[in-house]
Amino acid sequence: MRKGFTLIELLVVIAIIAILAAILFPVFAQAKAAAKQTQNLSNLKQLGLAGQMYAIDFDDCLPADNLTTGQNWGRYYWPFLIKPYVKDAPPDAAGVPSGFYWSPLAPKTNYQVLLGHRAQAVWPEPAKSWGLKCYSGSGNTCRELRYWTTYSINEHVTDFPGGLVLTAWQSPSESFFLLEATDSEIEGDELDELYSRTKNCTNFPDPDNADATFGGHNGGTTISYIDGHAKWRKTTWGRQGECSIDGSGNPLLVFPPTTDGGVAVRVKGWTPIFQE
């Protein structure tokens, strides 16, 4: 009576297991990535709805800057302004990236930084009530705050004249509210900040946003739109690929569309009114 496997039989079994593992591991990796993207999409959906609720309470207006005083509350502090509507805020950089403001697809290496007057404007309050601590300075003086988030507000939402009212947007279902990026705010001349980029682009004008590889998000970015819906969209680069630049040295993309910065922009996707 046989009491065990022969060496040949064991080798065959091991070979079969190795083949199955080679087939299944990529499937497991894809399933894990898909689950993370589902969470990422859910985050942006929740934040988009929070923006809608914020607007209901503030005369149909999304978080805004005060261009007269230069207090840029909309672009720099928007995650904390909509905090009451999601019961969550970006955690301080001393903690672990988590919550609605953090994509599980993102590398845990890029926290947001508020420096100089941007930090001092909210220190000690409301920054302390937001759960933030000071990384440079003491007492009532703070020169640096840090927090985790991977989502950026469309800067034109915060500063476009007459464009803050939701009903003023011509195409709310095609207009950006939040995008996945490496800064608290983004506009069409800052698209080197998109997380969809996989290459280090040393030809970009801002080295802080050009020197890191972020993994690509399958070549696209997830966007929350003004009307509250969210979806993933493939990034379409310029003719020279991910490191394409225009005549001014700014990143050149087809989608999201590259634009100049500032309030004079009239581009579909970015602004309430646009020129075709």
Q: How far apart are alpha carbons 255 and 203 in whole angstroms?
A: 20
Minimal CA–CA distance to 270: which of 168, 151, 154?
Answer: 154
pLDDT tens, per residue, the chain with 276 residues: 556 667 776 777 777 787 777 776 665 556 666 677 888 899 999 999 999 899 888 888 888 776 555 567 788 899 999 999 988 889 999 888 888 898 888 877 778 899 998 899 899 999 999 999 999 988 899 999 999 998 999 988 887 655 567 887 888 899 999 998 888 889 888 888 888 888 777 777 665 655 455 656 778 889 999 988 999 999 998 888 888 887 777 778 889 998 888 778 888 899 888 876
Structure confidence at residue 91 (pLDDT) = 92
The whole model's pTM is what?
0.82
Structure confidence at residue 142 (pLDDT) = 93
Amino acid code (one letter) for 269: G
Residue 130: both structure tokens together: 């937001």
Instruction: Report strand pairing: 134-138 vs 141-147.
Output: antiparallel
Q: How far apart are alpha carbons 13 and 2 in whole angstroms?
A: 17
Q: How far apart are alpha carbons 221 and 115 in whole angstroms?
A: 27
Q: How far apart are alpha carbons 169 and 162 in whole angstroms?
A: 10
Q: How far apart are alpha carbons 102 and 50 in whole angstroms?
A: 15
Structure confidence at residue 216 (pLDDT) = 60
The domain locations on the chain are 36-111+148-255
Cα–Cα distance list, 181 to 42, 108, 109, 114 (Å): 17, 13, 13, 16
